[in-house]
């Protein structure tokens, strides 16, 4: 069986198991690279060969998360596609424990204020106001918005899970205007060519505004979501409510934001 045939089998198995489009793309990319080494029996995992493959990725400067992605893809192939019943005893790399980049309320305001395009300004405002991932913003449909309750129904987000989150009443009028004349299945933030905006376009809107606002932090679109969670905690919102709004499966994922709030530092002064 050649490389293309193997990837076709992997793709079908991923789709049958309802993996996300992003995961399918990532796994196929990882395995396409791995199958380039095919001078071994594909039906039997060679643990030493896999280790050398992953170590090579490490030598090339790949992040631990990326190396783990390659390992997950390889394990999926052998366990779920080939049906291997043995063990692949390779431990995952420890992930780097970096704290998320948080934008202050003033920085958020400055970023929003410099955006002159009303639709783009609303897109960034909604992302921060509701704690949305970039994919969730571009996939938001008219039927997912409840202006009367100031709620968004986020459907099939990460992990194929639905959740409900909040939006600010300050945005209700702008949202009403943005959705005017649209059908329930239309995207809230449609592109000029029809259909939804791409995630790359949304990211570029944020990046341009970040530069224009003079914010020097190495922030990304996802920093809006990080800031949403942190600011809620600083406002006294219970961490379990924040967990629900973000759609985290584990409270431990949400608790990282307790490390970057300003609450504990306000009364602390440097001894110098």
- Using alpha carbons only, what angle is made at residue 13 by residues 12 and 14, rounded to the nearest 5 degrees? 90
Q: For this structure, is 204 an active site residue?
A: no
pLDDT at 231: 94
Catalytic residue among 153, 155, 163, 222: 222
Catalytic residue among 120, 121, 133, 196: 133
Q: For this structure, is 158 an active site residue?
A: yes
Mean pLDDT along residues 167-195: 93
As annotated, the residues of the chain forming the CATH 1.10.443.10 domain(s) are 107-219
- Higher-confidence residue of 61 and 165: namely 165
206 in Cβ contact with 153 (< 8 Å): no
pLDDT at 136: 94
Q: For this structure, is 222 an active site residue?
A: yes
Mean pLDDT along residues 198-210: 96
pLDDT at 126: 97
Model pTM? 0.74
Q: For this structure, is 39 an active site residue?
A: no
115 in Cβ contact with 205 (< 8 Å): yes
Q: For this structure, is 225 an active site residue?
A: yes
Q: What residues does 201 pair with on adjacent strands?
A: none
Instruction: Report pLDDT digits (tens) over 47-60.
Output: 888 998 999 998 88
Catalytic residue among 57, 120, 225, 231: 225
Catalytic residue among 27, 34, 187, 257: 257
Catalytic residue among 158, 163, 182, 212: 158
> Do the bridges between strand 163-166 and strand 151-154 make them parallel or antiparallel, or are there none, so unpaired?
antiparallel
Q: For this structure, is 257 an active site residue?
A: yes
Per-residue pLDDT band for 40 (boundaries 50, 70, 90) equals: low
pLDDT at 88: 86
Written as six digits, the tokens of 72 are 């997950």
Q: Does 96 have pLDDT greater than 90?
A: no
The CATH number of the structural domain formed by 107-219 is 1.10.443.10
Q: Which CATH architecture has domain 3-82?
A: Orthogonal Bundle (1.10)
As annotated, the residues of the chain forming the CATH 1.10.150.130 domain(s) are 3-82
pLDDT at 3: 83
From CA 45, how far away is CA 52, in angstroms rounded? Answer: 13
Residue with tokens 């493959």: 53
Nearest C-alpha neighbor of 14 from the set 65, 63, 72, 62: 72
Mean pLDDT along residues 183-195: 90
pLDDT at 270: 60
Q: Does 107 have pLDDT greater than 80?
A: yes
pLDDT at 11: 94
Radius of gyration of the chain (CA): 22
pLDDT at 37: 76
- Using alpha carbons only, what angle is made at residue 24 by residues 14 and 94, rounded to the nearest 5 degrees? 105
Q: How many CB atoms neighbour CB 56 within 10 A?
A: 12
């Amino acid at each position: 069986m050649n490389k293309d045939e193997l990837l076709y089998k992997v793709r079908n198995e991923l789709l049958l198991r309802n993996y996300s489009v992003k995961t399918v793309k990532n796994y196929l990319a990882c395995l396409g690279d791995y199958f380039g080494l095919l001078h071994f029996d594909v039906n039997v995992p060679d643990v030493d060969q896999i280790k050398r493959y992953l170590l090579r990725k490490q030598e090339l400067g790949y992040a631990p998360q990326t190396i783990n992605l390659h390992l997950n893809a390889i394990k999926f192939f052998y366990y779920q596609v080939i049906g291997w019943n043995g063990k692949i005893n390779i431990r995952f790399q420890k992930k780097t424990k970096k704290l998320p980049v948080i934008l202050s309320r003033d920085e958020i305001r400055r970023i929003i204020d410099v955006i002159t395009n009303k639709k783009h300004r609303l897109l960034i405002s909604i992302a921060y106001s509701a704690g949305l991932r970039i994919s969730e913003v571009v996939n938001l449909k008219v039927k997912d918005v409840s202006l009367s309750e100031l709620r968004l129904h986020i459907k099939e987000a990460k992990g194929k899970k639905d959740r409900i989150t909040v939006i600010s009443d300050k945005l209700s009028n702008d949202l009403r205007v943005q959705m005017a004349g649209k059908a329930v299945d239309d995207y809230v933030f449609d592109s000029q060519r029809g259909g939804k905006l791409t995630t790359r376009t949304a990211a570029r809107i944020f990046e341009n505004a970040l530069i224009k606002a003079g914010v020097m932090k190495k922030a990304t679109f996802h920093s809006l979501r990080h800031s949403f969670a942190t600011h809620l905690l600083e406002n006294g919102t219970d961490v379990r409510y924040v967990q629900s709004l973000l759609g985290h499966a584990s409270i431990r994922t949400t608790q990282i934001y307790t490390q970057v709030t300003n609450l504990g530092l306000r009364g602390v002064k440097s001894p110098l």
